[in-house]
């Protein structure tokens, strides 16, 4: 009897407790939903602002890319102004341009990729490409250009480029070079191993050496080994060379006849030991200039 009464008491109590828990759970869920809604309102109180912010972000990126491209284009325009050279007939121009990439904005200007651009009226074309070691360029004639590239200590490469066919040939230069006025020959300066000069003829093949005036370095150091000078006559038929005399501590002047297989036309010792310049006056007079001299030598 007592057990029956207890059961009758416990079941209603459990029912009441279950209902209370259900109500409490519903209240908590409602409170949680309200809290979430409140958090959402705090984070995105203005949906339109959020959408506008999201749409503005890619616009900002596009604007940044455009600005970067404009900066690059301005750099290339400046590079063009610094490097531009005009062909002898005044019709064509050549100049350097940096690489342009549209797929990678951070690499929009690439110094490892330099192009030589030729403009001919409304036509523009790339005729040569290499790396950032390109230094300068010049026209040899109305069709050919020479592009210079540093290749290390006392080393320079000249690329002779046919702007019509894009065919190129290499010419290894030394510590310096001087082209003849007609661009048929180039005098190349040397210092390592043997100092002096060598003359390369264009002919049928670039780099063909037609003359060498090189001397062994003395056992005792001499400042005269760095005094080598060359000068071409205005008609490219003669070459004047000042160089340290073989096994003697003095300079000498040698004049070569280019048209006669570089035969020596004139040779004379010089008392001057510091020559700053060597020039021609007419076709038969050479001017030797130094700190204390300005001598005219006629032959």
Average pLDDT of span 79-84: 94
Average pLDDT of span 110-131: 86
Q: Please, what is the average pLDDT of the chain?
A: 79
Q: Which residue has the tokens 């030797």?
A: 288
| Neighbour count for residue 120 (Cβ, 10 Å) | 14
Contact between 114 and 130 under an 8 Å Cβ cutoff? The reply is: yes
At residue 196, the pLDDT reads 95
Phi-psi region of 21 (alpha: psi -120 to 50; beta: other; left: phi over 0): alpha
Q: Which residue has the tokens 């080994």?
A: 225
At residue 117, the pLDDT reads 93
Distance, in Å, from the CA atom of 45 to the CA atom of 38, rounded to the nearest integer, reads 9
Q: Out of 151-155, 206-210, 278-282, which region has the weakest mean confidence (pLDDT)?
A: 206-210
* Residue 175 confidence class, pLDDT cut points 50, 70, 90: confident
Average pLDDT of span 164-168: 92
More confident position, 251 or 25: 251
Q: 111: which 2 tokens?
A: 């110094």
At residue 79, the pLDDT reads 92
* pLDDT at 114 exceeding the cut of 90: no
At residue 149, the pLDDT reads 92
* Residue 208 confidence class, pLDDT cut points 50, 70, 90: confident
At residue 212, the pLDDT reads 93
3-state SS, residue 253: strand
17, 22, 27, 30 alpha-carbon torsion, rounded to 10°: 170
At residue 205, the pLDDT reads 56
| Neighbour count for residue 94 (Cβ, 10 Å) | 23
**pLDDT per residue over 262-276, tens digit each?**
999 999 999 988 899
Distance, in Å, from the CA atom of 113 to the CA atom of 98, rounded to the nearest integer, reads 6
At residue 7, the pLDDT reads 43
Average pLDDT of span 200-216: 80
**pLDDT > 70 in the chain, percent:** 73
DSSP label at residue 104: -
């Amino acid at each position: 009897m007592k057990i029956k009464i207890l059961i009758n008491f416990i079941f209603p109590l459990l029912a009441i407790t279950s209902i209370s828990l259900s109500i409490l759970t519903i209240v908590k869920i409602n409170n949680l939903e309200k809290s979430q809604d409140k958090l959402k309102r705090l984070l995105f109180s203005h949906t339109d602002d959020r959408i506008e912010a999201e749409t503005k972000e890619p616009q900002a990126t596009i604007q940044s890319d455009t600005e970067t491209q404009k900066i690059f284009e301005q750099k290339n325009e400046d590079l063009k102004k610094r490097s531009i050279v005009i062909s002898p007939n005044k019709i064509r121009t050549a100049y350097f341009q940096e690489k342009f990439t549209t797929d990678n904005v951070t690499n929009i200007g690439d110094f490892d990729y330099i192009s030589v651009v030729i403009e001919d009226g409304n036509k523009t074309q790339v005729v040569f490409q290499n790396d950032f070691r390109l230094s300068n360029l010049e026209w040899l004639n109305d069709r050919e250009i020479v592009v210079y590239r540093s290749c290390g200590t006392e080393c320079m490469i000249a690329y002779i480029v046919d702007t019509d066919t894009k065919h190129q040939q290499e010419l290894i230069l030394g510590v310096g070079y001087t082209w003849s006025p007609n661009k048929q020959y180039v005098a190349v300066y040397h210092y390592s191993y043997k100092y002096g000069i060598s003359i390369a003829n264009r002919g049928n093949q670039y780099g063909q050496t037609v003359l060498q005036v090189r001397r062994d370095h003395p056992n005792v150091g001499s400042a005269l080994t760095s005094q080598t000078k060359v000068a071409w006559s205005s008609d490219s038929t003669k070459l004047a060379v000042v160089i340290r005399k073989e096994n003697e501590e003095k300079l000498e002047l040698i004049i070569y006849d280019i048209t006669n297989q570089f035969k020596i036309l004139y040779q004379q010792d010089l008392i001057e030991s510091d020559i700053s310049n060597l020039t021609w006056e007419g076709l038969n007079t050479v001017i030797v200039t130094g700190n204390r001299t300005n001598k005219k030598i006629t032959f």
